[in-house]
Amino acid sequence: MNYLAHLFLSPPGEDAMLGSLMGDFVKGPLTNVTISERYSTEMTRAIALHRKVDSYTDSHPVVRDSWNRVSKERRRFAGVMVDIFYDHFLAKYWSEFHHKPLSEFTGEFYAILARRHSEMPERLQGIASSMISLDWLGSYARTQSVHSALNRISQRLRRENTLFNSADELLENYAEMEVDFRRFIPDVVAFANQSVSIQPASPL
């Protein structure tokens, strides 16, 4: 799952939402003293949920169906691509899944990012201003923004990759990817809600 989906699955509260986003930026065991001293219990639990959701997603048969729709030339990076494709569908159909308008939800979170900038990992601090100013989360609803997101990742990776212009894979398999997303989203919400380590996530 990508940024928007992790925030959607997050329990309420600033610490939990920050932790849900930080899951991609905090490395190492959560029992590490430095981590436990730096982040609140709710943030740490949300980071743990993020990791559990990622593991659940990567092993889910529907997600693997989506991976297999990606061309062989790009399949090595299918996980990255499908995460963003699913964020596209979540943003596009947001009103079906959440009681707040997407612009309100993202605006409130951007305010948290700006207000608590110093508490975030350095790598997240480095992209937070772009995330806010370019409305990364809300922009996923547009396929052009999916192109932009994947192209940014392609340029950022040091190793050779096939991610540039890989949003073409979404356009070529659009209907099938949407069906996969709709099959998967109730399962991952149920998984997050049933997690024993945190409070329930936002319901459908």
Q: pLDDT tens for the chain, 204 residues: list them.
A: 899 999 999 999 999 999 999 998 998 888 776 776 788 989 999 999 999 999 999 999 999 999 999 999 999 999 999 999 999 999 999 999 999 999 999 999 999 999 999 999 999 999 999 999 999 999 999 999 999 999 999 998 888 899 999 999 999 999 999 999 999 999 999 999 998 444 544 443
Note the pLDDT of residue 197: 47
Residue 123 covered by a domain: yes
Assign 3-state DSSP to the chain and report helix, strand, coil percentages, each to 5.
70, 0, 30
Nearest-angstrom CA–CA distance, 46 and 136: 21
Q: How many domains does the chain fold into? A: 1
Which long-range CB contacts under 8 A does 38-42 form with residues at least 24 apart?
Answer: 40/15, 42/11, 42/13, 42/15, 42/16, 42/198
13: left (phi over 0), alpha (psi -120 to 50) or beta: left
Residue 130 covered by a domain: yes
Quick: pLDDT tens for 136-185: 999 999 999 999 999 999 998 888 899 999 999 999 999 999 999 999 99
Residue 202 covered by a domain: no
Note the pLDDT of residue 196: 43
Residue 199 covered by a domain: no
Structural domain that includes position 119: 3-193
Residue 200 covered by a domain: no
Q: Which of 153, 151, 152 is closest to 164 using CA atoms?
A: 151
User: Can you count the helices (H) and strands (E) in the chain?
Assistant: 12, 0
Note the pLDDT of residue 33: 60
Q: How many CB atoms lie within 10 A of CB 34?
A: 8
Which residue type occupies 112?
I
Residue with tokens 């305010």: 111
0.75 surpassed by pTM: yes
